[in-house]
Structure 1
């Protein structure tokens, strides 16, 4: 069974000063994936990135809340993480195994940080890993446009670290 793992779709990133590339489309995609996961009885995990006390993203900060655009129904597991890798110091791997998940479907933000490191870690931990090709995003950097970052990571991660699947093609 595959679990859906949604990374950092939170107020500070969705509505922050750096506009994520195609964010509205991403939110629709994530909501659709959640609907499909629920219909299939697949567990849904949402990671919220938090920082140290005193930082803008300290635990409890409004910036770390799940973005209101996500349609949460109450059965989701929401957890905090402090590292880009959602498995680091969170107990996520044990929770996935406890609910019977042998694979994870990864979506969310930001491509070059949390999405990348979580895909790599999931494979290292023995999970069948799927990255939704059109289900992750980031913002432009001074050096590279977000669209190019996403394309690069899709090409880099596919095969060695994950299976790359478009959202409309994925079935739980």
Structure 2
């Protein structure tokens, strides 16, 4: 764990969509998760960091099918020069999207990741970022998932909190895990005529 990591210049908010964080089908302790993610977004905006909301396009019939209420981003977005929405259809937020180009245009080399699901899209996106040589900070209390159901002859139910911790562990020793979202700090990216550049 890294108690107080160096500042990052981007925040990736992964799949914080109504299907996963609202109503009876929300991840366990969704209220806590939303509070932590909201805090991260607020502080990233105040610092002038890049905020990227990843929005998953689920298959037809799934809770996050495009155009359905569950597909909608649950938290308000302030689209502008330092905040954007990128739609995706794979767990890895870089796969088939403009995410890497957006980060490159902003001069981002260090980022924080939050959202859902810990062992799926959060893990896949953070792992790809590490492979692309970004510095990655992962606040433990700002990502979440569901309980893993029991499987006959394999395991009992795996609690969501345990699944999230295992997902962190699976990223290896390059990721910077912090206990609290409040320990993540942000630095500014500045806009100029050719796009966003890190400062």
Using structure 1 for the length normalisation, give the TM-score.
Answer: 0.90
Aligned to 2:44: 37
Matched, 1:129 2:143: no
1:44-86 CA-partner distances (Å, limit 9, x unpaired):
000111123x33333222211101xx24333320111100000
CA distance in 2, matches of 1:2, 1:73: 17
1:170 matched to 2:184? The reply is yes
The separation in 2 between residues aligned to 1:22 and 1:88, in whole angstroms, is: 29
Q: How far apart in 1 are the matches of 2:28 and 2:69?
A: 22
- CA distance in structure 1 between the partners assigned to 2:105 and 2:140 by the alignment: 27
- Tell me how large the CA RMSD over aligned residues is: 1.6
- Secondary structure at 1:134 match in 2: helix
Cα displacement (A) at 1:17: 4.7
Identify the residue that residue 27 of structure 1 maps to in structure 2: 34
Asked if the contact 2:148/2:159 (under 8 Å) is kept, the reply is yes
- Give unpaired runs (5+ residues) of structure 2: 1-7, 150-156, 187-199
Q: 1:94 aligns with which of 82, 95, 101?
A: 101
Structure of larger gyration radius:
2
1:1-172 to structure 2, matched below 5 A, reads: 2-15=9-22, 17-52=24-59, 54-56=60-62, 57-67=64-74, 70-75=75-80, 76-142=83-149, 143-160=157-174, 162-165=175-178, 166-172=180-186
Task: Give the paired residue count.
Answer: 168
Contact 1:158 1:164 in 2 (8 A): no
The whole-number CA distance in structure 1 between the counterparts of 2:65 and 2:166 is 31
Structure 1: give runs of 5+ residues left out of the alignment.
none
Q: Match of 1:126, SS? A: coil
Q: Cα offset for 1:13? A: 1.0
Task: Kindly indicate whether the alpha-carbon contact (under 8 Å) linking 2:115 and 2:122 is maintained by their aligned counterparts in 1.
Answer: yes
Secondary structure (helix, strand or coil) at the match of 2:141 reads strand
Instruction: Provide Cα deviations, 1:99-141, integer angstroms capped at 9, x if missing partner.
Output: 1211220000001100111111001112111111111001112
